Amino acid sequence: MRKLIIVLILALNACSVIDDSSLYSFLFSKTQSDISKSEHYQSCLLFAELSISDKQLENMLFVLKAKNKQNLCDSYILASQTQDPIYINEFIKHIPTGIDLSNIWSIHTKLDYPVSFIPPYISMTRNLASQNDMALDKLISALPSVDGSHSESLAEMIADLYNKNPSRVINSIKRNKISNGTASEIKQLAEYLKRN
């Protein structure tokens, strides 16, 4: 896996020197291949950040729209590359809940990303959660499932959202049947973040 990461980093750095269509083709084919979860995850993240031409975007849209069933990676790529509200809503629908959302953190950690680097899928969900109740519900649903530093990161995200709009977060906590103790911890953390 580390070899793939090194090759991809070198390839991304060389984009200005070589024709980026080969990198586009390589990464896009990886996102559509049946490979390990960690390789697939990494390919999705790299492809979503790749600067692509209008023709490549058109090709990507054609391929992904033609698929019978899109997955989280596909919807993340579409949302990231287009910023179209339709694809952003599809991404939100594909974001898992509860323990499945915490599994994204597990894959991310196994790839040796720094603990402080929030998985891009979750980061995008956090950004959307400030205005989208479904995204907020999906984040909050993972509270009982995450542990360690991931738990702290998630609690801090939710506390930050609480400071922006307490009633939305309280309603989402109720919808997700989060314990009163956890809800109280979020409120305390929000107060702490507000003071500091």
Predicted pLDDT of residue 196: 85
Predicted pLDDT of residue 11: 52
pTM for the predicted model, two decimal places: 0.84
Contacts by residues 75-84 (CB-CB < 8 Å, ≥ 24 positions apart): 76/44, 76/48, 76/120, 76/121, 76/124, 77/31, 77/44, 77/47, 77/48, 79/124, 80/48, 80/49, 80/124, 81/48, 81/52, 81/57, 82/57
For residue 7, name the pLDDT band (cuts at 50, 70, 90).
very low
Taking a C-beta distance cutoff of 8 angstroms, is the pair 155, 185 a contact?
yes
Q: At 81, which amino acid appears?
A: Q
If you search the block for the tokens 């499945």, which residue do you land on?
A: 100
Q: At 126, which amino acid appears?
A: R
Which residue ranges make up each domain of the chain? 2-8+22-94, 111-195
Predicted pLDDT of residue 20: 61
- Percent of the chain whose pLDDT exceeds 70: 89
Of residues 70 and 85, more confidence is placed in 85
For residue 176, name the pLDDT band (cuts at 50, 70, 90).
very high
Q: Is it the case that residue 4 has pLDDT exceeding 60?
A: no
Phi then psi for residue 183, to 5 deg, are -60, -40
pLDDT mean across residues, the chain? 87
Structure tokens at 156: 């801090």
Of 3-17, 63-77, 109-123, 175-189, which has the strongest mean pLDDT? Answer: 175-189
Measured between alpha carbons, how far is 187 from 167 in angstroms, rounded to an integer? 11
Predicted pLDDT of residue 67: 86
Taking a C-beta distance cutoff of 8 angstroms, is the pair 168, 129 a contact?
no
Which three-class secondary structure string do you get for 47-95?
HHHCCCCHHHHHHHHHHHHHCCCCCHHHHHHHHHHHCCHHHHHHHHHHC
pLDDT digits (tens, 9 = 90+) for 23-41: 888 888 999 988 888 898 9
Mean pLDDT over 44-73 rounds to 90
Of 5-19, 20-34, 51-65, 124-138, which has the strongest mean pLDDT? Answer: 124-138
Cα–Cα nearest to 80, from 47, 54, 53 = 47
Taking a C-beta distance cutoff of 8 angstroms, is the pair 2, 9 a contact?
no
